[in-house]
Structure 1
Amino acid sequence: MDKKRKTVLIAVAAMLLVVAIFLLPRRAQPLGELIPAPETARVDGLFCISTIVPTPDGYGTFDTGDCRVEGYPDSEAAAALRSAMSEISVQRYYRLPTSLLSRFTQNENYVTVWWIPEDGQKHDLYLNWDEGFIYDDANRAVAYKIDGDAQQAFSQLCAVISEYGTYTR
């Protein structure tokens, strides 16, 4: 093999290695650590479901409908949403434009939590109860894979939103 061809092969291999490192999942971390919601930011939440989902304690269910909460920065609701996000363990994945992970379609079984920090970059986190990924509108190149049961994470967020929010049909 001539020297030029060998150099090109080494360069291509090095580039593929760098791309692979960015696409591999990261270590598990709490979602609230990966995407911190500042104490000074308003944290809001919404869930909409078309099926009955058990609550985390197993005693109740959420019926079909929408529930929205407005969590002002110093409110108990905002603290509860921050706490619930910190209890969800996830791994960060970098998404390619053609990746299955990048084709998120919001169905009728979703939770969204959002906030706007002082820098003005709005974070909208979307979680479908039947998927194991959380999507952040502020960074479309990244998805967060939930460690464990995605339905449990969904139910935990629903429980907080249901407790502090208003429920509509």
Structure 2
Amino acid sequence: MVGSDRDMWATGTLGLFQGGTSVSVLDSTIGDKFEWMAVGNAVGPGGVGGSDYEVDAYCVTTTSEHPNEAFEWVQYLCSQESGVLLGIIGGTVGGRPDVYGSEELLKVPYRQVFKEIMDNAQDSRITSNWRQEEAEKAFTQLTQPLWAGNEQPTEAFVDSIASQIQDIMDQPRP
């Protein structure tokens, strides 16, 4: 395996990579190997680039020995201060406008792009069978021969991948 798309991009093997704001954590990995910048998705027929979302949940369970303290920690993790600090060290800062729009984070050029994208985000759509992650993993695996130079992007190769991904999307919910 050549590596994940993130690894190949961070090492300069791929010249273009689509990812979310979490890709910014690779800034320290890339260092001065090459210059990079973020851009929004290509504008589609509807005149917009589209958008997506993800959810990371913090939970305090009923079995917690210190539920009040645990909840205070969760409150901090969801705070403006914590979000800005997460952005300073690199990575996703969440959906708080007072975080992604903070003066401190907007000093970094790609964060300005992220702010524009967040300010114009659309409602999200999820796969009806909840198998997006499975399809993404299969896509990464199925395209490895292309990235390794063992396959060409022929119509047959692309159709084969599309068919296998469609098979995943046609499955019922787990």
> Please, what TM-score do these two structures have when normalized by structure 1?
0.18
> Please, what TM-score do these two structures have when normalized by structure 2?
0.18
1 or 2, which has the higher strand percentage? 1
Greater RCO, CA 8 A, separation 6+: 1
1 or 2, which has the higher helix percentage? 2
